[in-house]
Amino acid sequence: MAFADALRQLNAMKSEGVVEDYAIAGGMAIVFWTEPTPTFDMDVLVRLPEPQGPLVSLAGIYRWAEARGYPVQDEHILVEGLPTQFLPAPHALAAEAIVAARDVDYEGVTVRVVSPEHLVGLCLHPHAKTARRRERAAMLMEVPALNRALVDDILARHGLSF
């Protein structure tokens, strides 16, 4: 498995209209900003193109994966062998994180990654707030290029705190 190949496939999903936009989140996103953290999979926040009713459908993503021969394993699609979990933005902070994602180069592949400031907020969100995620948020707060004012703004607007 080549990580860059999996990233290329995320870009293909966007260019083919399978998703409107995406951003790598979770432990894999942290790797782009600070020290690596153990993670089993790649979490990808997605904004879907089709109008969503009360139930969100990932059918388009699964059809795309099946057409490319990517197997499904539990809640993951094995994109180029990498367990990848596609997550429709479950709340306003996640939707904002997709829009504010940064383009980052990895071995010549431009990929969208949740900013470290939004990752802090996502780690502290009540849907995800665990001891491990609080540790990740604290680790991200040490990133030299972190915009502390933006972190404070994100936390205040979304009612979050350490």
DSSP 71: P
Q: What global pTM score does this model have?
A: 0.92
Q: What is the pLDDT of residue 1?
A: 56
Q: What is the pLDDT of residue 83?
A: 96
What span, in angstroms and rounded, lies between the C-alpha atoms of 144 and 106?
A: 20
| 3-class DSSP state of 120 | helix
Q: Which domains does the chain have, with CATH numbers?
A: 3-114 (3.30.460.40)
**20-43 residue pLDDT tens:** 999 999 999 999 998 777 788 999
